[in-house]
Amino acid sequence: MTDVTMIVNGQTRSASVPPETTLLQLLRDNFNLTGAKLGCDVGDCGACTVIVDGMAVNSCLMLAGQVNGRSVTTIEGLATRDRLHPIQKAFEDNGALQCGYCGPGAIMASKALLDENSDPDVRDIRDALSGSLCRCTGYSKMIEAVQEAARVLRSEERNQITHART
């Protein structure tokens, strides 16, 4: 058995699991965070995408032990009681999710992009989403949603800077 401790969505979580347990299994079965999905279990579809130490990863390809001591953000860590994350709001307003199964993965991939690049062009967005397979939407509305979220996040940042100055 492997003991693991990590920060998940800002909270310290621990578990004792068989060594072959993947990060995806740890999140879903042990931490009850069922947002990340099992689509193929071999890293082809991106439905399991989460952010580990700032990087979007396929959680089905990482062992729980490899994430020991690191910081993980899942879909459940984006919204607060008062506020949807702008990416979630933009996906909702643009009808970017249909069956929703690929949604958490695609949204986390988008977040990783926007955390690094606050003004991505369409090519950048397509690249960032290329690991997230979607059979329902054709990706069009996802791309519009990411562009809208980027605009909102940029203006929020400008407002914060303005407030900080005053």
Nearer to other proteins, 74 or 150 (CB): 74
Query: Of these, 84, 124, 152, 154, which contacts other proteins (CB under 8 A)?
Result: 84
Q: Which of 5, 68, 118, 130 binds other proteins (CB under 8 A)?
A: 130
Q: Which of 93, 151, 152, 154 binds other proteins (CB under 8 A)?
A: 93
| Helical residues (DSSP H) of the chain, grouped into ranges | 23-25, 86-93, 103-116, 122-129, 140-165
Alpha-carbon distances, residue 160 vs 59, 64, 71, 155, 166 (angstroms): 33, 37, 25, 9, 10
φ/ψ of residue 138, rounded to 5: 70, 5
Task: Decide if residue 75 touches other proteins (CB under 8 A).
Answer: yes
Q: Does 121 bind other proteins (CB under 8 A)?
A: no
56 burial (CB, 10 Å; 0-12 / 13-18 / 19+) is buried
- Return the structure tokens found at 130: 């290329």
Question: How many residues lie near other proteins (CB under 8 A)?
Answer: 64
Query: What residue spans of 29-119 are helical by DSSP H?
Result: 86-93, 103-116
Query: Contacts with other proteins in 28-57 (CB under 8 A)?
Result: 28, 30, 32-42, 44-45, 47
Enumerate binding residues for other proteins (CB under 8 A).
1, 16-18, 28, 30, 32-42, 44-45, 47, 74-76, 78-84, 88-89, 91-95, 97-104, 107, 125-127, 129-143
